């Protein structure tokens, strides 16, 4: 497969090149800080952003939303959304 962009470095405004399933956890950070989150089934998200220590809640996130967030942790407490995918 040809990738015409293989020699360019990705910026935060560009598309993600990797993804991983996110399991919300109150006590553990994600393995990789994200550049965005995809929400498969809508609901509420409780996250700790990179560089912060306090959680912030996003209420009523719709299904299929992509949130451009640098997230260090997705908390189980306060998260009702499902099918969350970390993008980086």
Give residue-wise pLDDT tens across range 58-75.
Answer: 999 999 999 999 999 999
Q: Is 32 a residue whose pLDDT tops 80?
A: yes
Q: Greatest CA span in the chain, whole angstroms?
A: 43
- For 75-88, the pLDDT digits (tens) are 999 999 999 999 99
Cβ neighbors of 43 (< 8 A, separation 6 or more) are 60, 61, 79, 80, 81, 82
Residue 14 has pLDDT above 90, yes or no: no
């Amino acid at each position: 497969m040809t990738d015409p962009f293989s020699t360019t470095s990705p910026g935060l405004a560009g598309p993600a090149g990797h993804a991983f399933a996110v399991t919300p956890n109150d006590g553990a950070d994600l393995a990789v800080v994200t550049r965005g989150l995809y929400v498969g089934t809508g609901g509420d998200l409780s996250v700790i952003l990179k560089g912060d220590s306090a959680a912030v809640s996003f209420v009523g996130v719709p299904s299929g939303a992509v949130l451009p967030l640098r997230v260090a942790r997705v908390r189980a407490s306060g998260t009702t959304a499902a099918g969350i995918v970390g993008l980086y």
